[in-house]
């Protein structure tokens, strides 16, 4: 059975997995690009708080603290906003990752590679920078955490946007009879880009094009160059016929619809990535009922007894799928992490931050892995879910374009 047949069958094996489910996901709706955001003026209190934080952790700045604060206050009074220095931008992006309560991978926050793209003004320039982002992030399979930061919203102009929620996502196609080929969550987005002119191949693993929107141009479509999309074909260490399912997943989870807020300034286009934790692929993307919903098909392939829930066929199929994901990435030389290791690393991160006197905000429902949560060390404790800035946020206009927010480490 090939992957397209399998994925079409998956939509018929669970009553919750249908075209109706897919269309319930919010569809992308273009917003006027000619007007800035109503709250685009920089917030002085946030600016001061951020600059003081920056100086407290990096005191070797070219200007004394009070001089820099005076400079910023003057700029805000005159223009409604101010410009971050290169060092402030890099520090702010890394601290935004450090403050992201939904991310389990924050131990590596200092390693984030920050690409300043604030001078890009045209859709073509933005496309080139997005391509370079994927190139640097993929790194031949040795995935690197990277963020590309484009121009912010100001009182005078609206910042550029990308409609996609991630730089790499697979299309979804409605079929006659209600079946879906591809990713059901992206059926509506696929319909939108087809109306904009995308020539959809119609396969199970078609990478969606980028929709780039700027204040001076109408939304433009750009195909993602195939040589920039590293994919891993899934095999199993003990089941050679698992490869016959034809499953695959891409290597870089680059979230592109979350607003980066640094010192009272919003950067709506700031795509970022880490590397995958295996459960995001093997326990969410390929398994969720409104995604690929593959557990019934995998259980059938494995010959499991699905006549009763007491056989725990879902659990057994889930474990074998996650074994296949980790095995395939590792044998393919593509960086990935397992949920047990990452759980221990998160507690290491918490201990380091606490030694520095910093609070570690965390959302329990996102930190605890979606498989075997009770046997990971992050399960048996409480967390502070404070909103600390700098940080990443999902706005209503971003929700209207994609499926939702995610984790800067790539687990969401």
Q: What per-residue confidence (pLDDT) applies to 8?
A: 56
For residue 131, indicate whether it is catalytic.
Answer: no
Within 8 A by CB and 6+ apart from 112, the residues are 93, 94, 97, 145, 146, 147, 272
Neighbours of 223 (CB within 10 A): 12
Q: What per-residue confidence (pLDDT) applies to 395?
A: 79
Q: What per-residue confidence (pLDDT) applies to 100?
A: 97
**DSSP secondary structure string for all residues of 41-88:** SPPHHHHHHHHHHHHHH----SS-HHHHHHHHHHHHHHHS-----HHH
Instruction: Kindly name the residue from 68, 88, 97, 103 that is annotated as catalytic.
Output: 103
Instruction: Kindly name the residue from 280, 313, 389, 407 that is annotated as catalytic.
Output: 280
| Dist CA 291 CA 24 (whole Å) | 12
Is the distance from CB of 9 to CB of 159 less than 8 angstroms? no
| Dist CA 176 CA 180 (whole Å) | 9
| Dist CA 83 CA 1 (whole Å) | 56
pLDDT per residue, tens digit, the chain (412 aa), is: 555 556 655 554 443 333 332 232 333 333 333 344 456 899 999 999 999 999 999 999 999 999 999 999 999 999 999 999 999 999 999 999 999 999 999 999 999 999 999 999 999 999 999 999 999 999 999 999 999 999 999 999 999 999 999 999 999 999 988 899 999 999 999 999 999 999 999 999 999 999 999 999 999 999 999 999 999 999 999 999 999 999 999 999 999 999 999 999 999 999 999 999 999 999 999 999 999 999 999 999 999 999 999 999 999 999 999 999 999 999 999 999 999 999 999 999 999 999 999 999 999 999 999 999 999 999 999 999 899 999 999 977 665 555 555 675 544 4
For residue 280, indicate whether it is catalytic.
Answer: yes
Instruction: Kindly name the residue from 94, 98, 102, 106 that is annotated as catalytic.
Output: 106
For residue 109, indicate whether it is catalytic.
Answer: no
Q: What per-residue confidence (pLDDT) applies to 34?
A: 36
For residue 124, indicate whether it is catalytic.
Answer: no
Q: What per-residue confidence (pLDDT) applies to 396?
A: 72
Question: Which SS3 state, helix, strand or coil, does residue 26 take?
Answer: coil
Q: What per-residue confidence (pLDDT) applies to 401?
A: 58
Question: Which SS3 state, helix, strand or coil, does residue 250 take?
Answer: strand
Instruction: Kindly name the residue from 275, 291, 320, 389 that is annotated as catalytic.
Output: 275
Is the distance from CB of 245 to CB of 1 less than 8 angstroms? yes
Within 8 A by CB and 6+ apart from 6, the residues are 245, 246, 247, 294, 297
CA–centroid distance for 333 within its chain: 22
Neighbours of 59 (CB within 10 A): 8
Q: What per-residue confidence (pLDDT) applies to 226?
A: 98
26: number of CA atoms within 13 Å, CB side?
16
| Dist CA 336 CA 333 (whole Å) | 9
Is the distance from CB of 411 to CB of 337 less than 8 angstroms? no
Q: What per-residue confidence (pLDDT) applies to 312?
A: 98
**DSSP secondary structure string for all residues of 161-212:** EE--SBSS-B-EEE-TTS-EEE-GGGHHHHHHHHHTT------TTPBPPEEE
- CB burial of 375-401 (b: ≥16 within 10 Å; e: otherwise) equals ebebeeeebeeeebbbbbebeebbeeb
């Amino acid at each position: 059975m090939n992957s397209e047949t399998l994925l079409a069958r998956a939509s018929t094996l669970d009553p919750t997995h249908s075209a109706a489910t897919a269309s319930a996901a919010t569809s992308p709706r273009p917003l006027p690009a000619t007007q800035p955001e109503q709250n685009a003026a920089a917030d002085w209190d946030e600016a001061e708080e951020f600059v003081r934080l920056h100086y407290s952790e990096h005191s070797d700045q070219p200007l004394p603290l009070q001089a820099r604060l005076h400079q910023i206050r003057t700029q805000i009074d005159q223009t409604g906003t101010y410009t971050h220095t290169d060092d402030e931008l890099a520090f702010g992006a890394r601290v935004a990752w450090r403050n992201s309560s939904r991310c389990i991978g924050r131990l590596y926050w200092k390693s984030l590679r920050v690409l300043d793209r604030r001078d890009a003004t045209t859709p073509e320039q933005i496309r080139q920078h997005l391509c370079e982002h994927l190139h640097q992030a993929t790194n031949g399979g040795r995935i690197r955490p990277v963020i590309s930061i484009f121009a912010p919203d100001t009182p005078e102009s609206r910042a550029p946007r990308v409609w996609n929620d991630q730089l790499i996502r697979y299309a979804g196609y409605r079929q006659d009879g209600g079946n879906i080929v591809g990713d059901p969550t992206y059926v509506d987005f696929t319909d939108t880009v087809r109306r904009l002119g995308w020539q959809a191949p119609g396969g199970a693993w078609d990478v969606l094009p980028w929709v780039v929107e700027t204040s001076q141009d109408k939304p433009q479509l750009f195909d993602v160059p195939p040589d920039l999309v590293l994919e891993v074909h899934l095999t199993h260490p003990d089941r050679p016929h698992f490869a016959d399912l034809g499953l695959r997943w891409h290597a870089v989870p680059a979230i592109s619809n979350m607003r980066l807020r640094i010192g009272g300034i919003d950067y709506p286009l700031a795509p970022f990535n880490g590397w995958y934790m295996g459960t995001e692929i093997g326990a969410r993307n390929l398994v969720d009922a409104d995604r690929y919903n593959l557990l019934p098909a995998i259980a059938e392939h494995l010959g499991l007894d699905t006549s009763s829930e007491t056989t725990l066929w879902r659990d057994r199929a889930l474990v074998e799928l996650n074994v296949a994901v980790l095995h395939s990435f590792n044998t393919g030389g593509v960086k990935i992490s397992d949920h047990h290791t990452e759980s221990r690393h998160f507690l290491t991160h918490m201990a380091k931050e606490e030694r520095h006197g910093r609070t570690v905000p965390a959302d329990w429902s996102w930190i605890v892995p979606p498989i075997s949560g009770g046997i990971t060390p992050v399960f048996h404790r409480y967390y502070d879910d404070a909103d600390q800035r700098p940080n990443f946020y999902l706005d209503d206009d971003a929700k209207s374009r994609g499926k939702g927010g995610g984790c800067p480490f790539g687990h969401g």
